[in-house]
Structure 1
Amino acid sequence: MRQNNAFTCAKILGKAELPLLQRARSLQRLEQAALRLLPDDLAAHCSVMNLKNEILILGVPSPAWAARLRFAAPDFTKQLQCQLSLAVTGIEVRVIPETLDIQAVSKKPEGLSMHNATLLAQTAEDVDHPGLREALYRLAAKARES
């Protein structure tokens, strides 16, 4: 017979809450301290994502900033070891593109102008296909109604 070892999400998160918050706060403190060691223009585009197995993982918004950070990585690693006494053996740079909030523009479609309605009616006169001719006349009539 199968045992029910299921836990509620609240129970799992309740147990994990303290370590998660401590980890988040320590990474936040690390980010504040580490980014002071970088040049201002580079620090403005960089964020600390994680510290795992003595590798500092940093995120940047574009490949250009990633290249600049990789170029500065050896000196940055030495500064982290000397000034912050941080046991960092290397730096990993990840490109995390910024997300843009694109909102759809709600625009009422413009109606057909009278000139275009006249052109549709003239075109309908020269069309041999009865279904197409009728459709063109209907379109022209809708433009004249509005």
Structure 2
Amino acid sequence: MLSYRTATPADLPFIIGLVVEDSVIHTGDDPADAMHADYVDALAEITADPNEEMIVVEENGAPVGCFQLSYLPGLMRRGMKRGQIEVVHVAASHRNRGIGGDMMRWALERCRRNGCAMVQLTSNKKRLDAHRFYERLGFLKSHEGFKYYL
């Protein structure tokens, strides 16, 4: 049985560990540095914002996954609110057991309850398994994504 809760600073080593374990690019993150003020401050900012949630997913009381939800107001489509899902990770030892699907169904329902009419996410082009996973859940490849690092 999975449970969902808001991340706390004590979860940072787990979350940053998943990010590093699952990364297809070098992010510069290091699980040994997960309690650095930069991470603690970023989580505090997420937690303080009513339009942001960092979620830790547990199975039998042990963390197995995480994701971040953002609720984005907009003007398009008569002011439609969008949900954004990011930092989606399941621990390697818990993959291929349906946990990711349960996480995404929970996230979609959470977005629906928060007034979102659409949910979007991005996935690195190298993550072909993830792309197939999201397509099986009903996500459509509708846009090409771009990033500009400052």
**TM-score tier after normalising by the smaller chain length:** under 0.3
Structure having greater relative contact order (Cα 8 Å, sep ≥ 6): 2
* Higher strand proportion (structure 1 or 2): 2
Q: TM-score, normalized by length of structure 2?
A: 0.24
* Higher helix proportion (structure 1 or 2): 1
Q: TM-score, normalized by length of structure 1?
A: 0.24
Rg larger for:
1
